[in-house]
């Protein structure tokens, strides 16, 4: 998580960074030692294989989404189509940063300071944009299901508004990633002679900047999306409970799955970020073993948060009927060697709306 070593009362120092950790043996004025090299060893063994799995699954899933939207369907018909395509692009760009962090975990940062800043900023841009696009999707589902009449009356304008919202999401995400471009540095551990890419805040004045950066990340990357999702989906659930649809129970399961996975993957990481912001404002962790445990927990929670990039296609796209039908036809087309004629036939087949991706203004979700 982020920052320069912070002096603590009993002589230990705490080094927390968003993208990496300094896990060497640190000495303070009081000659207190806290050997944290075991955390880096843990990271070197734990992160690369996990990031490899997330990268492969996420790349396959999100590339399929982009390919289907840009090739099979040719055009975006609903607001959610626009959001899902942008979400897939954001997740793909985010996944592109994982190989760099995997190499960094094994042997340190050997890519230079410019790439350190770019990769750090790219990671944060797509972290924020992914969370904000999930927020947009929940708002769109609220409009399509709860505000049906308004959604039908503003059908053409909604598509324009969705593109405008996407531009706003990317702009806000870029602005929120500016601290990465300013503070990302390549640091060297003199004990291990190993470099790593991290955010570096150099004094107490910058420590206040760190608190602000962490607060923005917590608010924009977790609290805002969570509050909007809870509001929108709670109203949607109430609407579905009143609807006489045989599909409403399946739709409810989908909604619960979406919210549950989001909370499960993001809550631990953001809880630790809150602890880190508290630590930056007022030193509370002073025991070396506690510091090491905090570092290990931070690595595990961060990795858990990253899994959302490979789960998004399955939660928001492939559970939809239309996408399942598209994929099934693609598989049959490949197996039968139908060529272009098969693809055209596949596009011409009428399709039902899906749960989270294709419902336009239907009063209930379907699967």
CATH code of the domain covering residue 258: 1.20.1070.10
Domain count of the fold of the chain: 1
Select the more confidently predicted residue: 205 or 326.
326
Query: For residue 355, is it within any domain?
Result: no
Its domain, for residue 69, covers: 6-348
Q: What pLDDT is stored for residue 115 in this prediction?
A: 92
Query: For residue 1, is it within any domain?
Result: no
pTM, rounded to two decimals: 0.79
Helix/strand/coil for 185: strand
pLDDT tens for each residue of 250-299:
777 777 888 888 888 889 988 888 888 887 777 666 678 888 888 888 88
The two tokens of residue 1 are 């998580």
For residue 330, give Cα distances in angstroms to 22, 314, 336, 347.
48, 17, 10, 10
Bridge partners of residue 197, in order along the sequence = 186
* Residue-wise burial string across 326-335, b where 16 or more C-beta atoms lie within 10 A, e elsewhere: beebbeebee
| pLDDT at 72 exceeding the cut of 80 | no
Phi, psi of 330 (to 5 degrees): -65, -45
pLDDT tens for each residue of 1-23:
444 333 333 333 333 343 444 44
Query: For residue 298, is it within any domain?
Result: yes
Select the more confidently predicted residue: 115 or 360.
115
Query: For residue 367, is it within any domain?
Result: no
The two tokens of residue 245 are 């649809």
What is the secondary structure of 26-88 as a DSSP string?
Answer: EE-TT--EEE-HHHHHHHHHHHHHHHHHHHHHHHHHHHHHHHIIIIIS-S--SHHHHHHHHHH
Query: For residue 239, is it within any domain?
Result: yes
pLDDT tens for each residue of 172-220:
999 999 989 988 988 887 666 778 888 887 665 557 778 888 888 899 8
Query: For residue 292, is it within any domain?
Result: yes
Query: For residue 365, is it within any domain?
Result: no
Percent of the chain scored above 90 by pLDDT?
21
Q: Distance (Å, rounded) from C-alpha 150 to C-alpha 158?
A: 10
| pLDDT at 322 exceeding the cut of 50 | yes
Work out the pLDDT band at 350, boundaries 50, 70, 90: very low
| pLDDT at 88 exceeding the cut of 50 | yes
Query: For residue 363, is it within any domain?
Result: no
């Amino acid at each position: 998580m982020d920052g320069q070593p912070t002096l603590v009362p009993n002589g230990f120092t705490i080094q927390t960074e968003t993208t990496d950790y300094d896990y060497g043996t640190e000495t303070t004025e009081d000659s207190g030692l806290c050997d944290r090299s075991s955390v880096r060893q843990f990271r070197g063994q734990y992160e690369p294989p996990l990031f490899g799995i997330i990268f492969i699954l996420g790349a396959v899933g999100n590339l399929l989404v982009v390919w289907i939207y840009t090739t099979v369907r040719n055009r975006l018909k609903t607001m959610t189509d626009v959001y899902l395509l942008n979400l897939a692009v954001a997740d793909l760009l985010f996944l592109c940063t994982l190989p760099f962090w995997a190499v960094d975990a094994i042997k340190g940062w050997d890519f230079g300071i410019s790439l350190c800043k770019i990769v750090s900023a790219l990671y944060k841009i797509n972290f924020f944009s992914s969370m904000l696009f999930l927020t947009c999707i929940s708002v769109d589902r609220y409009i399509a299901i709860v505000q049906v009449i308004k959604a039908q009356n503003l059908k053409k304008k909604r598509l324009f508004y969705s593109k405008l919202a996407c531009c706003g999401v990317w702009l806000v995400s870029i602005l929120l990633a500016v601290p990465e471009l300013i503070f990302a540095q390549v640091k060297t551990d003199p004990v291990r002679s190993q470099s790593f890419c991290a955010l570096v805040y150099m004094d107490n004045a910058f420590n206040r900047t760190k608190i602000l950066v962490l607060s923005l990340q917590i608010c924009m990357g977790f609290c805002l999306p969570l509050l909007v999702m809870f509001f929108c989906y709670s109203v949607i659930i109430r609407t579905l409970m009143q609807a006489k649809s045989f599909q409403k129970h399946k739709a409810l399961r989908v909604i619960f799955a979406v919210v549950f996975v989001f909370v499960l993957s993001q809550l631990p990481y953001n809880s630790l970020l809150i602890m880190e912001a508290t630590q930056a404002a007022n030193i509370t962790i002073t025991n070396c073993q506690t510091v090491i445990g905090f570092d290990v927990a931070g690595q595990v929670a961060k990795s858990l948060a990253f899994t959302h990039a490979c789960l998004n296609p399955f939660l928001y796209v492939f559970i939809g009927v239309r996408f399942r039908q598209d994929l099934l036809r693609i598989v049959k087309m490949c197996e039968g060697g139908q060529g272009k004629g098969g693809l055209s036939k596949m596009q011409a087949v009428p399709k039902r709306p899906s749960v989270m991706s294709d419902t336009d203004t239907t009063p209930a979700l379907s699967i």
